[in-house]
Amino acid sequence: MVSDAATVGFRRGRGVNKSPDSLSAFDPKLAALPLAFDLEAVTRLFQSRWINQGALQVSRVRSAQYKPSACGVITYDLLIEQPGAPPRPTIGVVEVGPTGLKARLFDDDPEIPWLAVATDAEAMRARFATVLGRPPEACAVTPIRYKPGSRVVLRYDLHTSSGQRTVFAKVLAQDDGQLTATLATLFQASQAAPAMPRILPPLAHFPELHMVVQPEVLDGVELHARVFDPAVDSAWREQWMRQVGASLAGLHASVGALGPQRRLEDDLCELQEYLKAVARISPELTAGFEGTIVDIAALAANRAEPAPVASHGAFRTDQLMIAARVPRRLLGGAFNARSRLARVLRGCRDAQDMRPSLPRLDVRRVAPGAAPA
């Protein structure tokens, strides 16, 4: 299944977004595919299925996965408005197949069936007593990020007599125990190694829900907003990026955290999965894309596999956090809340993968407070 990188090409690629007719011709075996990117049509699809939910509006496409001639899975931001209640954000899903479209909500994922309990506010109140010492008076659940069939990040706003507390949870299809152990190990390592990003510890692990809970980043600001803000001096922004790089080096130097090893060969196999989508989206790029994979494979074949290091996916500034209350420290770790002020570390590939140092540099979250030195 091809995901975000191919999605950008699908939405912006040459000859793809010109008209519904051209989209239908784009993949004749998935004739309904154009409708999945027509927000008005998608809104009507959801409204027809959840007619008693109240006013429902689809605001944007969040992500898409596309396998040429076979299937597509597109997720959306949904807003449900009911009389006497505040608007409720959620995530909708449309599955595209040869027979048409199928709509569902994110918590109706057959690969993550325990989401039904994880998104039940009343059911979670009792469980959060282990975090707070007693059940919160109220609990509000908001989905933050969702990868179909794999994982969900949920935000829990817990109302207590002493005020509100926010935590984030990652609900996984599998390997939640390993993630919990890895985060705990990296948290301890980050306390002893100032060069590392600060890893937030797991607050709780609910095995029956495959859920790992972590605290929020207090007074956090997204790194992306800082380093791409034209109002901020360019030299200052460059210093932030350099500090992030130094923090990554500190993470890669850490030892002791266990996790599945990912080799350069694995990355190349993943790239191979994009070939059909590239050929469908931009045929003129196919030869160059495939040639690059061959060149990297040839280079790797003549080198020994480096020792594995703790790493976590791609270096993306929209998944990094500046935490104002942690002066001159970077925050790395587990969960990703897409708001600007409440992002807790990403996880899964963040701390769980043990990647070789050769393939790529990775960061997920930043948290220095003031300006870098």
Q: What is the pLDDT of residues 241-295, one digit of tens each?
A: 888 888 878 888 877 777 777 788 888 888 888 888 888 888 999 999 999 999 9
Domain annotation covers residue 12? yes
Last residue in a domain, options 56, 81, 105: 105
Domain annotation covers residue 8? yes
Q: What is the pLDDT of residues 174-201, one digit of tens each?
A: 999 999 998 899 899 888 888 888 888 9
For residue 356, give the DSSP letter: E
Domain annotation covers residue 368? no
Confidence of residue 82 (pLDDT cuts 50, 70, 90): confident
Last residue in a domain, options 87, 105, 123: 105
More confident residue, 233 or 2: 233
Is the pLDDT reported for residue 301 higher than 60? yes
Return the SS3 of 193: coil
For residue 70, give the DSSP letter: T
Q: What is the pTM (predicted TM-score) of this model?
A: 0.77
Is the pLDDT reported for residue 67 higher than 80? yes
Domain annotation covers residue 118? no
Residue 334 makes CB contacts below 8 A (sequence gap 6+) with 170, 179, 183, 199, 200, 202, 212, 214, 344, 345, 346, 347, 348, 350, 351, 364
Residue 11 makes CB contacts below 8 A (sequence gap 6+) with 17, 37, 61, 64
Domain annotation covers residue 122? no
Return the SS3 of 232: coil
Is the pLDDT reported for residue 86 higher than 60? yes
Domain annotation covers residue 256? yes
Domain tally, the chain = 2
Domain annotation covers residue 120? no
Residues 226 and 232: beta-carbon distance below 8 Å: yes
Last residue in a domain, options 86, 105, 124: 105
pLDDT at residue 244 in the model: 84
Tokens 């597509």 locate to: 72
Instruction: For residue 135, give both structure tokens.
Output: 């059940």
Buried b / exposed e across 336-353, counting CB within 10 Å, b at 16+? bbbeeebbbbbbbbbbbb
pLDDT at residue 342 in the model: 24
Tokens 């407070």 locate to: 369
Confidence of residue 117 (pLDDT cuts 50, 70, 90): very high
106: phi then psi, degrees, rounded to nearest 5: -60, -30
Domain annotation covers residue 152? no
Structural domain including 34 reads: 1-105
Residues 99 and 222 in one domain: no
User: How far is CA 234 from each of CA 133, 231, 240, 247, rounded to the nearest angstrom?
Assistant: 46, 9, 10, 20
**pLDDT (average), residues 122-135:** 90
Residues composing the chain:
373
